[in-house]
């Protein structure tokens, strides 16, 4: 089972949740942008070639 890893880049105020291990070996085939009303930022879902969710990017993460 893969370990979840979370990174945060303060300079761009973005967090990334890696759902696979190791993250560098997974290529994004499709990104689905979400803009939920309850969130003051943007969430991007990254999917691999098989359609599996492998990462979540949260922009404006400090809110």
pLDDT of residue 33: 85
Q: What pLDDT is attached to residue 2?
A: 61
Give 55's strand partners.
18, 46
1-42 pLDDT per residue, tens:
567 889 999 999 999 999 876 666 777 789 888 876 666 668
Q: What is the pTM of this model?
A: 0.79
CB 40 within 8 A of CB 63: yes
Run of H or E including 18: strand 14-18
> pLDDT of 34-53, one tens digit each?
876 666 668 999 998 888 89
Measured distance CA(17)–CA(57) in Å, rounded = 6
Domains in the chain: ranges and CATH: 5-59 (3.30.390)
Measured CA to CA, the distance from residue 41 to residue 35 in angstroms comes to: 7
pLDDT of residue 12: 95
């Amino acid at each position: 089972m893969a370990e979840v890893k979370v990174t945060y880049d303060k300079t761009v105020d973005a967090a990334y949740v890696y759902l696979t291990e190791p993250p560098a070996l997974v290529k994004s085939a499709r990104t689905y942008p979400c803009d939920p009303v309850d969130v003051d930022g943007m969430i991007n879902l990254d999917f691999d070639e098989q359609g599996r969710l492998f990462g979540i990017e949260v922009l404006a993460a400090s809110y």
